[in-house]
Every structure is written in structure tokens, then in C-alpha cells.
Amino acid sequence: MSPTSASSSAQAARRALAVRLQNLRRDARLNGRELSARCGWHPAKTSRIQDGKVAPSEADTRAWCVACGAEDQVADLIAASRSVESMYVEWKRLKSAGLRNLQESYAALYEQTQLFRFYTSDVIPGVLQTSAYVRAIMSRSAGTSHSEEDMEQAIATKMERAGIIHRGMHRFLFLLEESVLRYRLGDAEAMAGQLGHLLTVMSLPRVSLGVIPFAARRTLWPVESFRVYDESRVQVELVTAAVNVTAPNEVRQYVDTFAELHGMALFGAKARMLIGDAIAALE
């Protein structure tokens, strides 16, 4: 997915859903009028849905699947339909409520999740970030639209949320591209503290941290950073928006992608060596 505007991205998702419904109709060897008759609505409605001009309701999606003899597709397509208009949440709108509120919006999801999978190709994952590293990131994104007090409260809230790796029975799997260790976000002192923190959290019993080295023989190129919450949701952060993926087949694709990337990563002493090299390079 490219980082386009939220509205154009939502339209692209609607078109993708329309194509899936259209393929179901074709697989059932039905034309538009025949499907409309089985669903009990005007053929114009079928055309608008197939053309991606309107998003089908849950009842529409269910009726379409039943008409095509594809009842097994109902749950997946309804999940995709639900996400069409809501999956893209613009950062501008989220930040307008304050940086602290943005950080607090993640709290419930984090507490409910048992297994976290984080893959990053750009920055250190949020729950592993130090306050100095967070401040460097937020100083850039906050600009002049938020007060210093708001930013400090947001940092405090994020640090509180990061404490989740020390409580409860949550499990965490982290995969970082080696480049993430080398990107200079903040000064040398902030980066050294951040990388040192990674070495510390690696020893936690419910944390697994792997680094995909530059020299890895890749079966998959670096992809967009993403987070998988159990088997139910994926979050992807683009330039303009946060993408929430809930359609089961799409979540499964991200889980499979994570597994493939996991196979290219180094863990334990070898990962520690890569982090140590990054610390030494700061000098």
C-alpha cells in the first residue's frame, strides 16, 4: 500500500472488496441480473457495488454470498467490508485531540492482547523505546501544533504503556531490520541509551528479539513496519494514516510474512553482537 490520502486509500480498499464480490458472482456463473433477482434488489444496486461506488452493508454481503453459494466466505467478506471505511485513520485527526490522547488510544488494545508480533524496518518498536528516543521522534512529528506540556504528557503515557512488557502474561516477538539499529534518531547519547535498553529487555523471559542482518540471504524484501495483535488485528503506520487490518485472510498474510521474516533473523548472542556493533559505531 502506498501512503496516499485516507480517502483515496479507502476507495482503493472498496474497489478491492468489489472485485472479490464480482469474482464470487462469476465463479457461480451468474450475471448481474440473476444475482440481483436472488438477492431481491434492483440490478442497479449490484452494478454500484461491483463498480466500488458504494460499500455493501453486512446484510448485502451475506445475501451476495448466499446467492453465489459461498456461505463460507461470509465472515471474511463482512470483516473486509467493516474495515473499508474505518481502516484508515488520519494522523492529522488523531493528533488534533492531543498527543497524550493519541497514546492513550492504544491502552485497551495492548491490555487485551496476549501475543504481540512487531516487525520494524524504520524505528525501534514503541514498547521498547526509551524516553529520550521517544522525545526525538515526537519533537519532529509534533512541530508547533502542540505544547511542550502535551508532548511531555504523551511521553509519560507512552512510557507507562511500555511497562506492559514487565507485567501480566503477555508475550512479545520483535523483529528489527539491522538498519533500524543504525538510523540516528536523536543524538549519540540518546541512541546509545536506546540500543543499550534493547540489550536489557532481550533477557526478559517473555520477550524474543531478533535482528535481520544486512548480510542475510533474503527470501523477502523489507516491508512496511507492522504490528500483529494475537490473530485478530494488524496495524500498519503510513505517512498520513494508521491502517487497521481485521479481515481474517489479510491478518493471516501478515502472520505468514512475520514467520518468513523470522526465519531470516538472528537471535541471542548473534543479535547482541549486531546491537553492540551499532553502539560502537556511534563513537
Would you state the pLDDT for residue 99?
Answer: 45
pLDDT at 3: 35
Residue 201: count other Cβ atoms within 10 Å of its Cβ: 16
Supply the CATH classification number for the domain 6-86: 1.10.260.40
Q: Which residue has the higher pLDDT, 129 or 249?
A: 129
- Which three cell numbers, joined as nine digits, stand for 99? 498527543
* Sheet arrangement for strand 241-245: 88-90, 241-245, 233-237, 226-229, 115-120, 171-177, 207-212
Mean per-residue pLDDT of the chain: 85
Average pLDDT over residues 265-276: 98
For residue range 210-234, what is the model confidence (pLDDT) as tens digits?
Answer: 999 999 999 999 999 999 999 988 8
Domain segments of the chain as ranges = 6-86, 89-281
Q: What are 62-103's pLDDT values in tens digits? A: 999 999 999 999 988 888 777 665 555 544 555 554 544 444
Q: What is the pLDDT of residue 22?
A: 93
Q: Enter the CATH code of domain 89-281.
A: 3.30.870.10
Cβ–Cβ under 8 Å, residues 142 and 136:
no
pLDDT for position 79: 81
